[in-house]
Amino acid sequence: MSINLTNIHKGYGAQVVVDDVSLEIESGELFVLLGPSGSGKSTILRLIAGLTPLDQGGIALHGRDVSLLPPQQRGVGFVFQNYSLFQHMTAEQNIAFGLEVKRVPRSERQARVTELLQLIEMETMGKRYPHQLSGGQQQRVAVARALAQRPEVLLLDEPFGALDVKIRAQLRQNLRAIQTQLGVTTILVTHDQEEAFELADRIGVIDGGKLLEVGTPDQLYRAPKHRFTATFLGNANLFPAHRNGSKVYLGDQHLPAPPDTDHLTGQPVEMMLRPESIEIALNPTDLKGSVLGQATVTQLAFAGALERVTVQLEDRVLQVLIHPAQSRQLGIRPGDRIWLGVQEYHLLATNHHSGAG
């Protein structure tokens, strides 16, 4: 296990910032800590790096307890959101800085800087100062500087937060390629679910200082255990329901219960429907999945590759995503009556905020 956090805790006075978090991260894994601003995710990174002292708990990196060690003895590389490059140094001087502090011989230092400039695809820009580089280039230099001393663990705190959308997308691919090539265990902190989905081997969802759940992007999107995860990772239609026997009752409708939900029998649940898992048809016989009922179209909106259809089903408002070609084929307009069906849905327990489905 590369990173092992055991019941770590951090507070400032009465305010608890990290609340009893335990986590194991595999060697070579790119793990994303995902949560809203102020959820404690950046503090966890600083605790691992030794930049913030731990109140309670333990931190082990590659089997070595580093809980009380200073940052320079932890074998960790850290990339900050604002790059934190030295403005009076060139790109190659920034990359070489840590090696210089450790008195690595000049020839070895130069070889490592050359290697890293190639890795970040900036071989011709080593002599430029930060103000002569774009934001994306500065961020790549910051990553190279963090990698210079061959850290066992790489920590990235909202590394693309200050960049525009197109540059962020390019840098994400760049970072993933570098991380895979080097096999360095990495934790990236973000509040951006798209970033988390694209980069993560696994995601840890954090809110209010608590680690709510951990899973692959697909697991957390399709079968979250917490309501917070369901709503934070994309759009979710959530409705009170009841599972009894082999059925789930949603108002007057009933649907076959998803497999592996027997433990929810006889208790209130919420049904989670992702917008893309809902079907729209003009006739109920055209639906492939279970019939949800007849609804009224209230709004149509362009959503890039898909079209967002807002519908009213009795007293519930649902968001549905369909392909524009299907929308044209159906010819639907606000005010039209349509039929809704569903093929995939998930149940969340409402009493202790966990579930299966």
Q: Which CATH architecture has domain 235-356?
A: Beta Barrel (2.40)
DSSP 8-state secondary structure symbol assigned to residue 252: T
Per-residue pLDDT of the chain (357 residues; tens, 9 = 90+): 689 999 999 999 999 999 999 999 999 999 999 999 999 999 999 999 999 999 999 999 999 999 999 998 999 999 988 778 999 999 999 999 989 888 889 999 999 999 999 989 899 999 999 999 998 899 899 999 999 989 999 999 998 877 777 888 888 888 898 999 999 999 999 999 999 999 999 999 999 999 999 999 999 999 999 999 999 998 999 999 988 878 888 877 888 888 888 888 888 899 999 999 999 999 999 999 889 999 999 999 988 889 999 999 988 899 999 999 998 999 999 999 999 999 889 999 886 444 444
What integer pLDDT is reported at residue 355 of this predicted model? 40
Alpha-carbon distance of 291 to 339, in angstroms, equals 8
Alpha-carbon distance of 3 to 318, in angstroms, equals 41
What integer pLDDT is reported at residue 356 of this predicted model? 41
Alpha-carbon distance of 23 to 314, in angstroms, equals 43
Alpha-carbon distance of 209 to 223, in angstroms, equals 22
Strand locations in 193-326 (E): 202-207, 210-215, 237-244, 247-250, 253-256, 268-273, 278-281, 290-303, 306-313, 316-322
What integer pLDDT is reported at residue 259 of this predicted model? 80
What integer pLDDT is reported at residue 151 of this predicted model? 92
Alpha-carbon distance of 185 to 152, in angstroms, equals 7
Q: Where are the domains of the chain?
A: 3-229, 235-356
What integer pLDDT is reported at residue 351 of this predicted model? 63
What integer pLDDT is reported at residue 263 of this predicted model? 82
Residues whose CB is less than 8 angstroms from the CB of residue 105 and which lie 6 or more positions away in sequence, other chains included: none
Class of domain 3-229: alpha beta
What integer pLDDT is reported at residue 335 of this predicted model? 95
